[in-house]
Amino acid sequence: MKRASWPVALVSVGVGVAGWWLVADRAGPLLLPRPDAVALALWSERTRLASALYQTGVASLAGLVSAAALGVFAAAVSWFSPTARLSLRPWTVLVQVVPIVAIAPMLVVWLGYGRGVATVTAAIAAFYPVYSAAETGLAAPARDLVDLFRLYGASRWQELFRLRAWAALPALFSGLRTAAGLAVIGAIVGEFIGSNNAPPTLGYTVLFASRGARADLAFAAVIAAGGLALALGAGIVWLERRLIGRWYGG
């Protein structure tokens, strides 16, 4: 974030917290806890939340990396072969539209309780943005550059790795930034069904707190999940700056 935008962001957060406080005073603690109650829950339950954050973070990161690898591979295959593109399209759309909640119970049957379910649901949630961005990026090079490569007799592999892969990076990182937040959402949805609190996870913590009328703890877990999504997004932005350098547009 640019230095000049920090004051605006801080004012925006301050206004949001003030509005939250006013609404919470009228709604009551069971419906909407006050910010100070959530802050107290973050501190008093810090050990549980830290452990849960670690478990959900590992599942989210593993799912994001898996989605990135599969998405880039599928996009490259689609670029190589129009037949493969047509064959993959219905499956990629299916991955995008299938409700994760509907398939999570089957994942528990196949994989059992634990991190595996959260990792798979995170990968499912994050796959399509990566695939779509990579497919768009591979088609990004100017026609003149493509013609120049082919004029000099470059093979399809050379065209892919020396021209199109680099041209695809801006679009790919844009897709990864979107996929980072979706991976956290997917992991938590998987934990709603596939976690038994051994070890603790953010998804299970939200369910446990909601059933026990601990709205403050549920909100604290949600804030931890938001921080995790922001951290993954920041990591991707850092990697984008390192790889694209002075062409970075953020």
Instruction: Supply the CATH number for residue 130's domain.
Output: 1.10.3720.10
Over the stretch 117-164, which tens digit does the pLDDT of each residue have? 999 999 999 999 999 999 999 988 888 888 888 888 888 888 888 889
Q: Compute the mean pLDDT over every residue in the chain, rounded to the nearest whole number.
A: 89
Per-residue pLDDT, averaged over 63-79, amounts to 96
177 contacts 67 by C-beta, under 8 angstroms: no
Q: Determine, yes or no, domain membership for 6.
A: no
Over the stretch 185-217, which tens digit does the pLDDT of each residue have? 999 999 999 888 888 999 999 998 988 888 999
200-210 burial: b if 16+ Cβ within 10 Å, else e: bbbbbbbbbbe
- Alpha carbon distance 31, 37 (integer Å): 13
50 contacts 202 by C-beta, under 8 angstroms: no
Tally of domains within the chain: 1
How confident is the model at residue 2, as a pLDDT? 55
Token readout for 119 is: 């990792």
Q: Determine, yes or no, domain membership for 158.
A: yes
Is the pTM higher than 0.85? The answer reads yes
CA–CA distances in Å: residue 157 to residues 50, 132, 139: 45, 21, 15
Q: What radius of gyration, in Å, describes the C-alpha atoms of the chain? A: 22
Q: Determine, yes or no, domain membership for 183.
A: yes
Nearest one of 86, 56, 80, 68 to 185, comparing CA atoms:
56
H-helix segments, 112-155: 115-138, 143-151
135 Cβ neighbours under 8 A, 6+ residues apart: 75, 78, 79
Q: Determine, yes or no, domain membership for 95.
A: yes
Q: Determine, yes or no, domain membership for 61.
A: yes
In one letter, which amino acid is 125? A
Q: Determine, yes or no, domain membership for 29.
A: no
Q: Determine, yes or no, domain membership for 17.
A: no
The listed range with the strongest mean pLDDT (85-99, 198-212, 216-230) is 216-230
How confident is the model at residue 174, as a pLDDT? 93
Over the stretch 236-249, which tens digit does the pLDDT of each residue have? 999 998 888 756 54
Token readout for 235 is: 């990591």
- For the CA atoms of 85, 90, 95, 98, what is the dihedral angle to 10 degrees? 170
Which residues span the domain enclosing 180? 35-247
Q: Determine, yes or no, domain membership for 178.
A: yes
